[in-house]
Amino acid sequence: MFQSRTNTCGELRLADAGKEVTLVGWLENTREVGSNFAFLVLRDYYGVTQIVVETQDMMHTVRGITKESTISVTGVVRERESKNAKLPTGEIEVVPSSISVLGKCYYNALPFEINKSKDADENARLKYRYLDLRNPAVKKNIVLRCNVVSALRQAMTEQGFLEITTPILTSSSPEGARDYLVPARNHPGKFYALPQAPQQFKQLLMASGFDRYFQIAPCFRDEDARADRSPGEFYQLDMEMAFASQEDVFAVLETILPPVFAKFGKYSRMPSTPFVRIPFAQAMERYGSDKPDLRIDLEVRDVTDLVCDCGFGPFAGAVVKAVAVDSFTQTRKWIDKLVADVEVATGNKACWFRLDENGGLVGGISKFLGDCKDALVDRLGLKPGSFVCLAAGKKTAAQKTAGVIRKLLGTRLPGHMDEAQYSFCWIVDFPMYEIGEESGELEFCHNPFSMPQGGLEALKEAEGNLEKALSINAYQYDLVCNGVELSSGAVRNHDPEIMVKAFQLVGLGEEDVKAKFPAMYNAFCYGAPPHAGIAPGVDRMVMLLAGEDSIREVIPFPMNKNAQDLMMGAPGVVEPKQLSDVHIAIVPEE
């Protein structure tokens, strides 16, 4: 028995016929049939039950109740004449002896129909999220999220990890995104920052003698939204292990994640463990992405040496990548849309050609490729009816553009994507350094706290040698599932001497390291264990399990794409006294 009800709206069955029950919930719908007869649909968290009104007095009561009001219904269960096999409660109905309103809905018109809220405008859904969440299809994703988090917690505990919470108010730290700053009332002119991740704290826990740490950690980053990234706040399964290697981290996640995906996922198939390991350089060459969707059977091939002198201007002095498909029957209009979409996604133009039924080159840039046709056919394995899409430019740009081509061809053409599975892989051997697009200087490519492969000796050899610096790989790794980056992780740099040398290569000295990371630097000077960790994104994980395309579908109260909470009105203005208390003045822009 739950509070004032005897049963839930998803509980009653034919065996309950004849019982007097009390149900509570939301009035989902009323359908009148004549002057003294109506069908009501009552909905609660657990399901729906049909209520049948058969008297004039009860009809009078029902007509005064607006949809989505909460009501209490007491009545007798009976067998339905017209059964609904689609509902668990479809064999019974309740004939009420009393109906009372518990919480009145004061609006006759709703912003959207509850059971079709997913079809409504997203801003309306977010503004009235409490109504959106009444939709069982929307609620189902939040229930899934709860169950997944519970399973992850249990699995991590069984693996010997301790759940330890780390601070929310901390210091600002350069972690790759903008911080959310919090003014300190008792320290004028100074600010706390909300953590972009518990990175430093979890490493400090390793230096403190804890062996295995985890938490479902809230992270805060002031960055733009994407389909797989929520602005402002997100959650991750944060973990760290002392005296651990890269393979130790892999073994833990390969133990924990497959059962969770098998139990809660939309698809049941997934690769056997250990998951395939793909070096970063190989991933970019074969798939044009460091988060490849391995469900697609297409690969990127390099044809630079074959077409560089063909006379087509964009190929001169460029790296050229190609993606080929057989049995291509699409129209020119389809091809034009593909090329246009590639340019929108990458800012780079794609080009193409085909082999006709006789094996002759036709369409696109075919007129430039006569002299290299045989070599292209041989390298790309072309057959009559094949289609080839190409990308050219600097190496990274050509790779990434080809990666988009591969994805679009794989998802739009039948037979090239085995969708009904979870395909995991590890991307390993990320470069330690790269040349910054804006600065033109040597920068950290991924995580500055990572251990460089080759250790201190590799860093010393790279001093003053840009080529050697760019050749250093780090013990950094990403876990990818179905083309979505679930997580980044690394073996950490726990040696202060190596840490200082790594930062020196990007122009930061020992004093800079001490100033930016004082607690971690000092802690490591007192003897730190080798340690490694990772942090799979909970939101992204649940998005994959639910089969949703947008991460906002699995977050209880998400912000919109502009990082606004339309329901609560955040961000919003505050009272002048509140600003005064924290020593802040708003200066109008000139």
For the domain made up of 296-412, give the CATH fold: Gyrase A; domain 2 (3.30.1360)
What pLDDT band is residue 471 in, cutting at 50, 70 and 90? Answer: very high
Q: What is the pLDDT of residues 492-505, one digit of tens each?
A: 999 999 999 999 99
Average pLDDT, the chain: 94
What pLDDT band is residue 1 in, cutting at 50, 70 and 90? Answer: very low
Residues 507-518 have a mean pLDDT of 88
pLDDT of residue 175: 58
For a pLDDT cut of 70, what percent of the chain falls above it? 99
Of the candidates 427, 407, 413, the residue with the CA atom closest to the CA atom of residue 295: 407
Q: Side-chain half-sphere of 428: how many Cα atoms within 13 Å? A: 14
The pLDDT of residue 402 is above 50: yes
Angle among Cα 393, 397, 399 to the nearest 5 degrees reads 100
Separation between Cα atoms, residue 110 and residue 305, nearest integer Å: 63
The pLDDT of residue 490 is above 80: yes
What pLDDT band is residue 432 in, cutting at 50, 70 and 90? Answer: very high
Burial letters 469-501, b for 16+ CB under 10 A, else e: beebbbbbbbbbbbbbbbbbbbbbbbbbebbbb
Separation between Cα atoms, residue 365 and residue 113, nearest integer Å: 51
Separation between Cα atoms, residue 543 and residue 534, nearest integer Å: 19
CATH 3.30.1360.30 intervals, the chain: 296-412
pLDDT of residue 230: 80
pLDDT of residue 192: 95
Q: What is the pLDDT of residues 106-138, one digit of tens each?
A: 999 999 999 999 999 999 999 999 999 999 999
Residues 330-347 have a mean pLDDT of 97
Of the candidates 276, 375, 488, 566, the residue with the CA atom closest to the CA atom of residue 388: 375
Q: How is domain 14-103 classified at the architecture level of CATH?
A: Beta Barrel (2.40)
DSSP helix/strand/coil, 249: helix
DSSP helix/strand/coil, 516: helix
- Give the Å distances, CA to CA, from 191 to 187, 521, 582, 583: 8, 22, 10, 11
pLDDT of residue 3: 63
What pLDDT band is residue 437 in, cutting at 50, 70 and 90? Answer: confident
pLDDT of residue 515: 87
pLDDT of residue 589: 83
The pLDDT of residue 479 is above 70: yes
Residues with Cβ within 8 Å of 405's Cβ and at least 6 positions away in sequence, in order, are: 288, 300, 323, 338, 342, 350, 389, 391
Separation between Cα atoms, residue 326 and residue 349, nearest integer Å: 22
By mean pLDDT, which of 1-15, 55-69, 156-170 is the weakest?
1-15
What pLDDT band is residue 2 in, cutting at 50, 70 and 90? Answer: low
What pLDDT band is residue 174 in, cutting at 50, 70 and 90? Answer: low
Residues 95-115 have a mean pLDDT of 96
Question: 508 or 336: which carries more pLDDT confidence?
Answer: 336
CATH 2.40.50.140 intervals, the chain: 14-103
What pLDDT band is residue 173 in, cutting at 50, 70 and 90? Answer: confident
